[in-house]
A and B are shown apart, each in its own frame.
Chain A
Amino acid sequence: MLKANDIGYWYDRQENSLFEHVNLEFESGTSYAIVGQSGSGKTTFLSLLAGLDKPRAGQIELNGEPINKIGLTNYRRSHVAIVFQSYNLFNYMSPLNNLMTAMAITKSSHQGDKEYAADMLRKLGITDEQMKKNVQKLSGGQQQRVAIARTMCCDAKVVVADEPTGNLDEENTKDVIEQFQKIAHEQKKCVIIVTHEPDVAAMCDHSYRLAKHEFSLEK
């Protein structure tokens, strides 16, 4: 459903391009891991898929339609959900309000349904008490789970995550990846996770390695 069509990207000069002529396809109901050395350009590639930046060459297509035709803001609002290492939650809100806000902005089909949002949080182990206090009073792992719950509440069919387990312990990491797997398999979404942990990559359905400016399928 999501297709990288001959894309290339560089920051200042084309000679220093991170990658060029990349052709990849991501299907719904599947989870993908992207691994690679630090500085190889994983985050950069993910930001292109998330519609946060435009590729220098080629284009990203969603179900055959270039995303810059959909409009990047519109694409981000309706088609993609983002989970980054730093959780990207509103720090002045409770977990519940974070979800409600995201559902309102993305005009989710469950918009305004507090019980639905609470259900998602409960599924990820956030207690009713926790979901009502300020999100900053939660632990890193809990905050990451709130961010994941948020992607579950929104209708976006593409979920991109950049090192979502970066500062979680082993147990939490396993938990979080299981949730992503559920999102892919139960909600039939396309989940793309950037990680440097081999364990995480092993848990995903497929795994790509970015090395020497090229992507190669590992699994």
Chain B
Amino acid sequence: MNFCKRAWLNITAKKGRSILLILVTSAIMLFVLAGLLIRNAADTATSNAKKSVGATVTLSANREAAFKKMRQSTSTSKKKTKPTLSTSPVKLSDAKKIAKLSNVSSYNATVSTSANAKGFSAISTSSSSNGGGMKGGMGGSSTSSGDITIDGVTATSSVSDFSSSSSKITKGRGITAADEGTNNVVIESELAKEDSLKVGDTIKLKATTGTKKTYTLKIVGIYKASSSTSSSQGPDASDPSNSVYTSYTFANTIKGSKYKNTADSVTFNISDPAKVSSVKTAGKKLINTSKYSLSTDDSSYQTVKASMDNVKSFADKIVWLVAIAGTIILALIVILMIRERRYEIGVLLSLGEARWKIVAQFFVEMVMVLIVSIVIAGAGGKFVGNQLGKQLVSQQTTTATTSTSTSSQGQMGGGTPGGTTGGSKPSGNMKGGGGGGGSMPGSSSSSSSTASASQTDLDISVTIMDLVELGGFGLAIMFLSIMLASGGILRLQPKKVLIE
């Protein structure tokens, strides 16, 4: 192990050269580490996103089949009457079967209907043609649309507006599964203010269809809808503040007795978004597909995944680019160093030292330099990684936010993100990498984009594993450089060196 001692003596005796080597190596290691950090962070973020970004499967009436049926009946019958589209509400018994499939974490039944406010006034908007003034007036009773929109749900927490925080419970609590069969209601804060309603108060609603009975509901919570939240009712809808949430059972009661144990649609939350299509396939076997259909929505997952994949492939490129550039730079430095040390090599050869031990001495010297450099790079890596990560994420988030505001008022079906793989390949520079985020417009609804923006946070911290990985890269770089440079050592003739 004499060559180790020689390496140590050399490194410590030639301090100036050693410090320069350490600085160059530190710089290279710093870049490799930054790349590794971003790549690892993107990895973690992707798997976190997988877990937390909602992917859903929705069970609803098979509208396509219903349309087909309607067209068929139009062409066969010669009646001039307008054909009606008949869809069947989803049976909860079907939903419960699907809920038992693996990877289904929870489900939410939704029933939408409306009723008229009785004893309090709905918010009226000037643009609204059928204003809230009717107050359960006799004339309006025949219309099927009331001034209060009732969203019957299993639990408000699994409604996308709430899970994406565009709506928030401000007082009391939300609707939960425990509210099944009760007349509990959650109303919007504007409506509460207008009518001076508090949690614990009761309101009356008169059904516009079916029994046309009046029901008394107890307010258990007040929520605040963000102003940008768009209602899903289309242009005719009343003010969004007139939306109330009840248990789906109450909404069914309003709709009429034949709607018992049904829902407009049931949304299943999938625990592992990658399994969405297998849940869909399994679910299809459990239902009558001519009446019902299962649709999937893992667009948020796909969006996050696509943007994260972009960051990752960019980080991968940094790692490889820097590793290759580093190898070349270090190899050139080592070659120069070895040329400068020809005399020393000649002396070693004249003493009868084996050539591989001379190469080993240079390698050990470089490993010593590497160890110090990794410590320096480890200290600086967090800083550099943070800056890089911040820049990447800020560009991701800006583009995500932009696409949120541009993705128009959240139409229900609003286009799957066909463009996720769009243009910008991450090129060699930062902008290119960040531009990866630009390739995710067309997210289907505001909620999914918000989710993706919050998921792209890169957690940058230097772990022991990172340093070990960095050490591996460093060793490989050093090994390659020494190998490239050692050709000179292996060919060197001691006579030439000593006699010149």
Contacts and interface: CB of A to CB of B under 8 A. Distances in A.
B9 A50 contact: no
A87 to B, nearest CB: 9
A52 B352 contact: no
B494 interface: yes
B498 A92 contact: no
A83 to B, nearest CB: 10
B346 interface: yes
Contact of B347 (A77, A89, A97, A134): A89
Contact of A77 (B6, B343, B351): B351
Contact of B9 (A74, A75, A97): A97
B498 A101 contact: no
Contact of B351 (A53, A91, A92, A102): A102
A86 interface: yes
A92 B350 contact: no
Contact of A88 (B6, B350, B354): B350
B495 A53 contact: yes
Given A43-B499, A84-B498, A101-B6, A76 B351 contact: yes
A82 interface: yes
A47 B495 contact: yes
A80 B10 CA distance: 26
A131 B135 CA distance: 109
Interface of A: 43, 47, 50, 52-53, 73-78, 82, 84, 86, 88-93, 97, 101-102, 104-106, 134, 162
B14 interface: yes
Given A77-B352, A82-B498, A88 B346 contact: yes
9 contacts: A43-B499, A86-B498, A88-B498, A92-B14, A92-B344, A93-B13, A101-B6, A102-B351, A105-B351
Interface string B476-500: 0000000000000000011100110
Question: 10 shortest A-B CB distances, which residue pairs?
Answer: A77-B352, A76-B352, A92-B13, A104-B2, A52-B495, A88-B347, A105-B351, A53-B495, A105-B353, A47-B495
Q: How large is the interface on B (under 10, 10 to 19, 20 to 34, 35 or more residues)?
A: 20 to 34
Interface of B: 2, 5-6, 9-10, 13-14, 343-344, 346-354, 493-495, 498-499
Contacts of A75: 352
Given A90-B6, A101-B2, A105-B351, 5 more contacts: A52-B495, A88-B346, A90-B344, A91-B343, A92-B14
A73 to B, nearest CB: 5
A77 B494 contact: no
A106 B351 contact: yes
A184 to B, nearest CB: 21
Nearest to A97: B9
Nearest to B12: A92
B78 to A, nearest CB: 107
B498 A52 contact: yes
A82 B354 contact: no
Contacts of A84: 498-499
A138 B193 CA distance: 96
Contacts of A106: 351-352
A82 B350 contact: yes
Centre residue among B5, B352, B353, B354 by max chain A CB count within 10 A: B352
A101 B495 CA distance: 20
Centre residue among A52, A75, A78, A162 by max chain B CB count within 10 A: A52
Contacts of A73: 349, 352, 354
B352 A92 contact: no
Contacts of A86: 498
A74 B351 CA distance: 9
A140 to B, nearest CB: 16
A50 B494 CA distance: 11
Given A73-B354, A90-B347, A105 B2 contact: yes
Centre residue among B343, B348, B350 by max chain A CB count within 10 A: B350
A151 B242 CA distance: 103
Contacts of A82: 350-351, 498
Contacts of B353: 77, 105
A50 to B, nearest CB: 7
Given A77-B353, A89-B347, A134 B13 contact: yes
A122 to B, nearest CB: 22
Contacts of B495: 47, 52-53
